């Protein structure tokens, strides 16, 4: 059984690394007296507002364009339940359990801050789902990231009512059984609670965090594959000199240059050509600190935005109990996530593009000095000819996928919600981009190992030799033509599993 991560409901003590741990393994959230007090005050504020018999959006009115329709007191519970059921209209493949676990965590953190007017019982029930690894089945498509992630959060919430389905340790079960596993009864929603559940950016943010954490794994592996290519091509390590990066003064570049120095330290291959006559290497080798450093800084920037949004209150209206005020605003608009996901997309595309260029260099004997296509008896054997074509196809697809999603607003809800963020679209497409990028990096790993083995008996650094051993435990050396598709897939999966996270992990956003 995997270990369980315990998180506090107080966001002040939370760190991005805590969310990465909860992404990887089951989690629980611990309530405390301070949280219960502020949740109770917020709920009492809603009760008092209802007693004043005034129209309050989403509490005793319809939703969206129907906000002017006031609902009688005896139908307020039905109003909230109808909202959840009618909005459960998503489609597409189900979200990964890791994403759904984050959705539950982020929704609990948001509601627990006491600005949403919900009951402690509602939050307790969400905590029970989380603690018992009951993850509602949430379709991946159906949200435009404004007025909250309405459809996906409705699917999350429907399980609390006893509707829909959930997944428990890999098995899809009915909501009725899911509640039994969680040890709770179907919830009767109070005024405001359905709206508080559905309003919010938690699905967009959870998908964005999922992409960020996977991007960290791919970035770390790409640094290793890039370092392997340096030795395979017998490239110079002068471009990684600290003095070069220091005078440009970009922290990401300096950190990546140091990482490459550490990765290649002690390489006998490097020592063997330290006095060679080569003046400069191609950019895909020489400019790795500049390109990968920029990608690292991009990841650090988006990580900050994602984390702030993870700790934010994003439903509507918001309840300020200390001021006896219920205010309608627009915190549900996920524009911060949409724009930063688009930014992250460019970094992912660049990581893959640079890796593909190194593969192209390695298979070209005029550039690398290695046998054509990295195989003996080329001509009879085609070697890495078509794996490089595959890398080109993946890199090209990523260029198209990197097109901004955030600029593609379309109005919804009869033009009441006339500008939307498309954050879920921006975040969801990152998953395919990361699969593609990991595939490119996997091909480079195989090609670079092949190149280094042509320099035997010389060894690379101890760190890189350990990586070579890991790769070769999956895919043996390429001595004559054979099918390579499964090998590429297995190395790609290893990259995405975080098997090459170290030693780059220390400079990644979730570690700092």
- The pLDDT of 183-198, averaged and rounded, is 96
> Residue 393 contacts by C-beta under 8 Å, 6 or more apart in sequence?
none
Assess contact for 351 and 219: CB atoms under 8 A. Answer: yes
On the question of pLDDT at 363 being above 80, the answer is yes
Summarize pLDDT for 276-333 with one digit per residue, the tens: 667 689 999 999 999 999 999 999 999 999 999 999 999 999 999 999 999 999 999 9
pLDDT band at 184; cut points 50, 70, 90 = very high
Looking at residue 101, what is its pLDDT?
A: 98
Beta-ladder partners of 318: 327
Largest CA distance in the chain: 87
Cα–Cα distance, 372 to 363 (Å, whole number): 6
Assess contact for 479 and 450: CB atoms under 8 A. Answer: no
Helix, strand, or coil (residue 333): coil
Summarize pLDDT for 69-96 with one digit per residue, the tens: 888 888 888 989 999 999 999 999 999 9
pTM of the model: 0.96
Identify the CA nearest to 227 among candidates 478, 488, 465: 465
On the question of pLDDT at 1 being above 70, the answer is no
Percent of the chain with pLDDT over 70: 99
Cα–Cα distance, 232 to 287 (Å, whole number): 17
Active site residue 57: yes
Of these residues, 57, 260, 343, 478, which one is catalytic?
A: 57
Please, how many CA atoms are within 13 Å of residue 156, restricted to the half-sphere of its CB?
Answer: 34
Assess contact for 403 and 430: CB atoms under 8 A. Answer: no
Helices 288-310 and 251-264, packing angle to 10 deg: 120
Cα–Cα distance, 469 to 270 (Å, whole number): 19
Looking at residue 300, what is its pLDDT?
A: 98
Looking at residue 512, what is its pLDDT?
A: 63
Summarize pLDDT for 439-495 with one digit per residue, the tens: 999 999 999 999 999 999 999 999 999 999 999 999 999 999 999 999 999 999 999
What is the chain's mean pLDDT, rounded?
95
């Amino acid at each position: 059984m995997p270990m369980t991560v315990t998180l506090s409901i107080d966001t002040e003590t939370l760190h991005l690394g805590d969310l990465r741990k909860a992404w990887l393994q089951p989690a629980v959230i611990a309530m405390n007296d301070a949280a219960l007090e502020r949740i109770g005050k917020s709920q009492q504020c809603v009760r008092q507002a209802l007693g004043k018999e005034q129209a309050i959006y989403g509490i005793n009115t319809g939703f969206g364009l129907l906000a002017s329709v006031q609902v009688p007191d005896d139908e307020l519970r039905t109003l909230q339940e109808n909202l959840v059921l009618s909005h459960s209209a998503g489609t597409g493949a189900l979200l990964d359990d890791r994403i759904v676990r984050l959705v539950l965590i982020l929704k609990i953190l948001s509601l627990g801050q006491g600005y949403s007017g919900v009951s402690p019982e509602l939050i307790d029930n969400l905590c029970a789902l989380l603690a018992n690894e009951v993850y509602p089945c949430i379709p991946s498509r159906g949200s435009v990231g404004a007025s909250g992630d309405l459809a996906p959060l409705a699917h999350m919430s429907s399980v609390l009512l006893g509707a829909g389905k959930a997944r428990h340790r890999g098995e899809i079960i009915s909501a009725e059984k899911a509640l039994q596993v969680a040890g709770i009864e179907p919830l009767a929603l109070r005024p405001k609670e359905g709206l508080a559940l559905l309003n919010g950016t938690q699905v967009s943010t959870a998908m964005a965090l999922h992409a960020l954490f996977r991007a960290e794994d791919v970035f770390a592996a790409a640094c290793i594959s890039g370092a392997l290519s340096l030795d395979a091509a017998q490239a110079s390590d002068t471009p990684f000199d600290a003095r070069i990066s220091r005078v440009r003064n970009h922290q990401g570049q300096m950190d990546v240059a140091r990482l490459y120095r550490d990765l290649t330290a002690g390489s006998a291959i490097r020592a063997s050509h330290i006095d060679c006559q080569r003046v400069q290497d191609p950019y895909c080798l020489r400019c790795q600190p500049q390109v990968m450093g920029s990608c690292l800084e991009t990841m650090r920037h988006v990580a900050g935005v994602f984390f702030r949004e993870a700790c934010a209150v994003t439903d509507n209206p918001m309840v300020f109990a200390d001021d006896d005020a219920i205010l309608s605003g627009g915190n549900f608009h996920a524009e911060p996530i949409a724009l930063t996901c688009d930014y992250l997309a460019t970094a992912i595309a660049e990581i893959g593009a640079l890796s593909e260029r190194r593969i192209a260099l390695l298979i070209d004997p005029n550039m690398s000095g290695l046998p054509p296509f990295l195989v003996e008896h080329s001509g009879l054997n085609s070697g890495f000819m078509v794996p490089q074509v595959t890398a080109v196809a993946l890199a090209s697809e990523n260029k198209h996928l990197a097109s901004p999603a955030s600029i593609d607003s379309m109005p919804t809800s009869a033009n009441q919600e006339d500008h939307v963020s498309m954050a879920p679209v921006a975040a969801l497409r990152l998953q395919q981009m990361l699969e593609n990028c990991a595939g490119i990096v996997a091909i480079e790993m195989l090609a670079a190992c092949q190149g280094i083995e042509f320099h035997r008996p010389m060894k690379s650094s101890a760190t890189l030799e350990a990586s070579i051993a890991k790769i070769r435990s999956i895919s043996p050396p390429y001595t004559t033509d054979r099918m390579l598709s499964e090998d590429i897939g297995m190395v790609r999966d290893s990259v995405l599993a975080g098997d090459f996270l170290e030693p780059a992990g220390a400079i990644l956003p979730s570690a700092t």
